[in-house]
Structure 1
Amino acid sequence: MSPVQTLVVKIGTSSLTGGGTGQFALSTLAALVETLCTLRQQGHQVVLVSSGAVGIGCRRLQLNDRPKTLAMKQAVAAVGQGRLMRIYDDLFSALNQPIAQVLLTRSDLAQRSRYVNSYRTFRQLLQLGVIPIVNENDTVAVEELKFGDNDTLSALVASLIGAQWLFLLTDVDRLYSADPRSNPGAKPIISIDRQADIQALKAVAGGQGSAWGTGGMLTKLEAAQIATTAGVRTVITDGRQPQNVVKALAGEAVGTQFAP
């Protein structure tokens, strides 16, 4: 068994929902919950950063498109966040794993007193054996206080709690030298050891990955840059295969790994 470590796992909307419809991919979610519970049973400290509140809220309100205005997004997120946590609570409770909801805005990690308070809250939850489930507080955040995406949020949380690993679960198995959907000659990237290489990849990365997500490969590269600068090993891997987290901890070469 790998030594006990602290890890942050981020899963995006594209992995949580099937086909961009806002409908939960329950098999993926159940596999993720089972994997995280297994890691907890092995003694690891685990934080989950989960997107999906806006997508679920849109489905609950029968909206066909992601909201464009901040006020509408906040309203939809308020509808979806409760449903998101209800689903997580049902799944984790089936495995007797306690969870906690943690909603953050950028000011929580920018102001010293709030930063220290956030750190203490996370440390206490982890010492209690709880898995904190983190999301941006979309309901109250204004534009200048937003993280922009949960990739950035997960990297900052990993830095805050002194995690050894950050896993970015997405809708591709790893990074490629070009978009494999349009370029059959794209080559897989197994590992990145230098900040300069991340910077070079950012120059060619695309924009938003899906209609329902706010991220894309560029935000994941930026998150990897934040995390590795803080000494956190980062992995981009397939969100439909959550067991890749366990494999990476065991030393297997899954996804694209960024060395701190």
Structure 2
Amino acid sequence: MIMTRKNILKAQRIVVKIGTSSLILPNGKINLSNIDELAFVLSDLNNKGYEVILVTSGAIGVGLNVLGMDKRPKGIADQQALASIGQVELMSLYTQMFRRYSQKVSQLLLTRDVTDFPTSRENAENALNALLALDIIPIINENDAIAVDEMDHQTKFGDNDKLGAIVSKLVHADLLIMLSDIDGLFDKNPTIYDDAKIFNEIHEITDELRQMAGGAGSRFGTGGMTSKLAAAQILFENDQEMVLTNGERIREIQQIIEGREIGTYFHQKF
């Protein structure tokens, strides 16, 4: 019997966050088929009347590809340079792919101080609302080329999982769909344990869940399961919802919006 997540059926404004692991292949090359499929699915949703915002990672990963490097440098300035190079190429790819489906896109690069400061936060919200009213799909990334954390000046979000949650909060999104390299949240690592079981729904981020998550992301990205739970907590505090699912099956986004039980559904109890 196919169950339905009925509350998701009401979603109209949707934020989709895609991680570096879904954009960059294990060999460091760009996953062109995934980007094309993402452009198709999001353009189709926009045509159907949904308001769609894309939060993307991948600037440094794409920068590594552009320069033919296979290892992320340790130096902050070197990482910022890679992000600057990669962001241009990443947006060029998105623009090309979305153009295939007659969909216009825009770019917004955010830093934490923009969303922390009331005036700039309001300006960002107004800009996003104006873009959505024009049937534009905004593509948002952290401004990694300039974002830094200093003692008295915090400008980094930390990872784009958190950015996805903050953007969802900023635009009062009905749903955040987080695309990752795993099918959802499991009770143990499914790549190690054959008997790992996926959580269908999560209603609270407990200390037990945080301890179970552990670990960091891939060599191309920074987000692990811990950061996804932190993002879910931000949404819980704002009475919002999230589905964590596999970025290798992008076409399932449509089924998720139709209420199908795919991935892990984070929401407070009704």
TM-score interval w.r.t. the shorter chain? over 0.9
TM-score, length-scaled by structure 1: 0.95
Determine what percentage of the aligned residue pairs are the same residue.
Answer: 40
SS at match of 1:203: helix
Q: CA deviation at 1:151?
A: 0.2
1:122 paired with 2:132, answer no
2:226 corresponds to 1:218? yes
Q: CA deviation at 1:28?
A: 1.3
Aligned to 2:64: 58
Hey, what's the Cα distance between the residues in 2 that align with 1:7 and 1:22? Answer: 29
Q: Pick from 170, 179, 195: which aligns with 1:185?
A: 195
Separation in 1, partners of 2:132, 2:75: 36
How far residue 3 of structure 1 moved from its aligned partner, in angstroms, is 4.9
**Structure 2 counterpart of 1:89, one-letter code:** T
Matched, 1:10 2:17: yes
2:45 is the alignment partner of 1:33:
no
- Aligned-CA RMSD value: 1.4
Is 1:201 the counterpart of 2:209? The answer is yes
Q: Give the CA deviation at 1:228.
A: 2.4
| C-alpha distance in structure 1 between counterparts of 2:205 and 2:82, whole Å | 37
8 Å contact kept, 2:11–2:257: no
**Within 1, Cα distance between the matches of 2:157 and 2:57?**
13
How high is the TM-score relative to the length of structure 2? 0.92
Question: 1:195 and 1:206 mapped to 2: Cα distance?
Answer: 14
- Separation in structure 2 between the aligned mates of residue 173 and residue 240 of structure 1, nearest angstrom: 9
Question: Is the contact between residue 21 and residue 180 of structure 2 (CA under 8 Å) also seen in structure 1?
Answer: yes
Quote the Cα distance in structure 2 between the aligned partners of 1:120 and 1:151.
22
Q: How many residues align?
A: 257
Partner Cα separation in structure 2 for residue 97 and residue 175 of structure 1: 32
1:157-203 CA-partner distances (Å, limit 9, x unpaired):
0000000000110011111100011122211111112344xx42112
Q: Aligned residue for 1:67?
A: 73
Q: Residue 56 of structure 1 aligns to which amino acid in structure 2?
A: V
SS of residue paired to 2:229: helix
Correspondence for 1:237: 245
Q: Structure 1 regions of 5+ residues with no counterpart?
A: none
Structure 1 stretches of at least 4 aligned residues deviating more than 6 Å after TM superposition: none
* One-letter amino acid of the counterpart of residue 136, structure 1: E
Find the aligned partners of 2:104 and 2:20 in 1 and give their Cα distance: 23
Secondary structure of the equivalent of 2:168?
helix
